[in-house]
């Protein structure tokens, strides 16, 4: 271990504190694993307990801060993130590998949700409604739930913590977050912005470390009332089971196998542009990645040829170099998973047209780089057509009609995002109606959701909740229905029917 490497601490109760065990874990740049970003707290149960203590204590006051005032703090956090966008984006690229343009976009998503939820501080609407009885008033209001535990992924290391946090905070909850072990730095930057915006101590706490040593005690702590998780379907299932006995609110955001349908009437160059961005943006490491390209047979030859050509020309390398278009896999294990899937695809009979090999030449030494892979001759039953790979791999599946395309698209356990390229408005609307997914695009790929609409998926992608948009408020609030009787007597609903 390098002695001069910077040491990063947890953020608990407004203080930077080391893990109680004193243990540390390395965080290295995936584009160059000789570049040590720093040593981060390898926390455990005692640290989680301290953070939940702080969050539970802070909840007592934060829940009573008027929501418009909470909103002002979020607004300031948005402004601070805006001022520091360049600095935080560069640190994110170094830590996570996504190219600088995309890291800026990641910080921008945090800014967008900060401003959205800041405004919500002056709304947080409930309902007022007539009572069925005279001299009686009826309304509903949102109330905070309590301490929220977040387990967040490495692919959007600031945006996803921000989506969850801004919605939870405006509702009056407090937070303990466990960021992914590969990307703690971006979450600590987010904490710094919240602190500098004036968020009171204990309202937002960060505990870094592994899933088993930090995530598990967080899930098991009875004082944590909400768990919000973004990650794999397997881990989500285990979290759901672990929270079942205590009926915690559980919000799960999991895998995807997102289809783009390309019809024979589509603008093929536009569809190719979309597929390149959707499949290889963030090195394919998005839950929304366009990993299935379901193409009408009349368009398949031209589309596939142009796609493979464009993919082979993508500049892969260190994301800090502005001309690079695609960064590395997040770590060695993920790179190996992707390389395994390339072999699986070949053995299943798909045709690898380009990419799929590890890059080790100049500019790639010591990084987890893979050339973007395009498979043709795909079939819906192949594992590479069914399993989430989370890497720069996409697959063309030829079909004969829109009906078949929709049938193939829906033949998946996932249902996050979906898209169609067509110039025929009727086909676009049929696809909009029939695709089983939480997000749908016309003439755009499956990535690029905006923060003011609900984000989340159907089927095994989610558990019926949404983040971002106003739908996120439902995860982080309880409804209270309120009846006020000013008749001076006990009026019995459903029994004392007013006579005319
Ligand atoms: C994710 O892949 O986990 O819609 C989030 C998008 C981004 C967010 C992706 N705004 O692709």
> Cα(54)–Cα(31) distance, rounded to whole angstroms?
37
Contact 206, 55 (CB under 8 A): no
The candidate with the shortest Cα–Cα distance to 92, out of 80, 79, 101, 103, is 103
Q: Is 203 in the pocket of ligand 1 (CB under 6 A)?
A: no
Strands 24-29 and 32-41: antiparallel
Contact of 158 with 190, CB cutoff 8 Å: yes
Q: How far apart are CA 294 and CA 297, in angstroms?
A: 9
Q: Where are the beta strands (DSSP E) in 430-470?
A: 439-442, 458-459
Q: Which two tokens stand for residue 209?
A: 């470390």
Q: Is the shortest distance between the CB of 448 and ligand 1 below 6 Å?
A: yes
Integer Cα distance of 23 and 209 in angstroms: 10
Produce one character per residue of 260-275: b if its CB has 16 or more CB atoms within 10 Å, e if not: bbbbbebebeebbbbb
pLDDT of 499 above 90: no
What distance in angstroms lies between residue 449's CA and the mean position of ligand 1's atoms? 6
Model confidence at 101: pLDDT above 70: yes
Q: How does DSSP classify residue 264?
A: T
Can you say how many angstroms the Cα of residue 443 is from the centroid of all Cα atoms in its chain? 23
Number of C-alpha atoms within 13 angstroms, CB side, residue 444?
Answer: 10
> How much is the pLDDT for 83?
98
The residue whose CA is least distant from atom 3 of ligand 1 is: 287
pLDDT at 141 over 60: yes
Confidence of residue 4 (pLDDT cuts 50, 70, 90): confident
Mean pLDDT of 378-394: 98
- For residue 159, the CA-to-ligand 1 centroid distance in Å is 9
Ligand 1 proximity of 156 Cβ (cutoff 6 Å): yes
What local confidence, expressed as pLDDT, does residue 71 receive?
98
Average pLDDT across the chain, whole number: 97
| Residue 32, SS3 per DSSP | strand
73-87, 285-299, 381-395, 486-500: range with lowest mean pLDDT? 486-500
pTM value > 0.85: yes
Q: At CA 258, angle to CA 254 and CA 259, rounded to 5?
A: 165
Position in ligand 1 atom list of the atom nearest CA 281: 11
In tens, the pLDDT along 220-231 reads 999 999 999 999
pLDDT band at 497 (very low <50, low <70, confident <90, very high): confident
Q: Where are the beta strands (DSSP E) in 364-497?
A: 373-376, 393-399, 414-415, 417-421, 439-442, 458-459, 477-485
Q: What is the pLDDT of residue 500?
A: 65
Q: Is the pLDDT of residue 112 over 60?
A: yes
Residue 286, ligand 1, Cβ within 6 A: yes
Closest Cα to residue 421, out of 289, 260, 209, 292?
260
Q: Give the pLDDT band of residue 53 (cuts 50, 70, 90).
A: very high
**CA 15 – CA 191 distance, rounded (Å):** 11
Ligand 1 site, residue 451, Cβ cutoff 6 A? no
Which stretch of DSSP H or E encloses residue 226?
A: strand 224-230
Average pLDDT over residues 102-112: 98
User: Residue 498's pLDDT is what?
Assistant: 83
Instruction: Give the residue numbers marked as catalytic.
Output: 253, 287
Residue that is written with structure tokens 């080790």 in the block: 360
pLDDT at 115 over 60: yes
Report in angstroms the alpha-carbon separations of 102 from 163, 327, 450.
17, 10, 14
Given a cut of 80, whether residue 1 has pLDDT beyond it is: no
The CB density around residue 492, as the number of other CB atoms within 10 Å, is 9
Tell me the C-alpha distance between 413 and 289, whole Å. 15
Pocket test for ligand 1, best of 288, 461, 469 (most atoms within 8 A of CB): 288
143 contact partners, CB below 8 Å, separation of at least 6: 172, 477, 478, 479, 480
Specify whether the CB–CB gap between 29 and 183 falls below 8 A.
no
Q: What percentage of the chain carries pLDDT values higher than 70? A: 99
pLDDT in tens, 463-492: 999 999 999 999 999 999 999 999 999 999
Task: Check if the beta carbon of residue 257 is closer than 8 Å to that of residue 291.
Answer: yes
Ligand 1 centroid to 155 CA: how many Å? 9
Residue 123 predicted with pLDDT over 80: yes
Mean pLDDT of 188-213: 98
């Amino acid at each position: 271990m390098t002695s001069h490497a910077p040491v990063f601490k947890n953020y608990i109760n407004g203080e930077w504190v080391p893990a109680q065990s004193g243990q540390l874990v390395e965080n290295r740049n995936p584009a160059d694993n000789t570049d040590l970003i720093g040593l981060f707290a390898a926390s455990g149960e005692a640290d989680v307990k301290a953070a939940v203590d702080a969050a539970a204590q802070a909840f007592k006051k934060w829940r009573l801060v008027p929501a418009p005032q909470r909103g002002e703090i979020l607004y300031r956090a948005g402004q601070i993130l805006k001022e520091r966008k360049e600095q935080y984006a560069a640190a994110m690229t170094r830590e996570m590998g996504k190219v600088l343009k995309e890291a800026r976009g990641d910080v921008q998503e945090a800014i967008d949700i900060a401003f959205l939820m800041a405004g919500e501080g002056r709304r947080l609407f409930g309902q007022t409604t007539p009572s069925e009885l005279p001299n009686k008033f009826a309304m509903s209001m949102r109330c905070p739930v309590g301490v929220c535990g977040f387990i967040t992924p490495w692919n959007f290391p600031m945006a996803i913590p921000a989506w969850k946090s801004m919605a939870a905070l405006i509702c009056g909850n407090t937070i303990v977050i466990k960021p992914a072990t590969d990307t703690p730095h971006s979450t600590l930057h987010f904490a710094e912005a919240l602190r500098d915006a004036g968020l009171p101590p204990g309202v937002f706490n960060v505990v870094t470390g592994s899933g088993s040593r930090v995530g598990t005690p967080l899930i098991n702590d009875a004082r944590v009332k909400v768990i919000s998780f973004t990650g794999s379907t397997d881990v989500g299932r285990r979290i759901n089971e672990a929270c079942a006995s205590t009926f915690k609110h559980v919000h799960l955001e999991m895998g995807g196998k997102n289809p783009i349908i390309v019809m024979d009437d589509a603008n093929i160059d536009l569809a190719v542009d979309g597929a390149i961005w959707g499949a290889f943006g963030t090195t394919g490491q998005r839950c929304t990645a366009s990993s299935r390209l379901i193409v009408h047979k009349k368009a398949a030859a031209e589309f596939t040829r142009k796609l493979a050509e464009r993919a082979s020309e993508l500049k892969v390398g260190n994301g800090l170099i502005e001309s690079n278009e695609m960064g590395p896999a997040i770590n060695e294990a993920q790179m190996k998973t992707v390389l395994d899937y390339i072999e699986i695809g070949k053995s299943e009979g798909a045709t690898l047209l380009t990419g799929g090999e590890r890059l080790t030449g100049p500019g790639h030494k010591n990084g987890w780089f893979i050339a973007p892979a395009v498979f043709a001759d795909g079939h819906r039953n192949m594992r590479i057509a069914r399993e989430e790979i989370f890497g720069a791999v996409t697959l063309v599946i030829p079909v004969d009609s829109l009906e078949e395309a929709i049938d193939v698209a829906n033949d998946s356990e996932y249902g996050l995002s979906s898209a169609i390229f067509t110039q025929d408005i009727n086909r676009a609307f049929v696809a909009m109606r029939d695709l089983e997914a939480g997000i749908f695009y016309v003439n755009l790929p499956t990535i690029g959701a905006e923060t003011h609409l609900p984000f989340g998926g159907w089927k095994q992608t989610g558990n019926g909740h949404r983040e971002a948009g106003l739908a996120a408020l439902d995860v982080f609030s309880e409804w209270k229905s309120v009846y006020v009787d000013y008749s001076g007597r006990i009026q019995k609903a459903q029994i004392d029917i007013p006579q005319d």
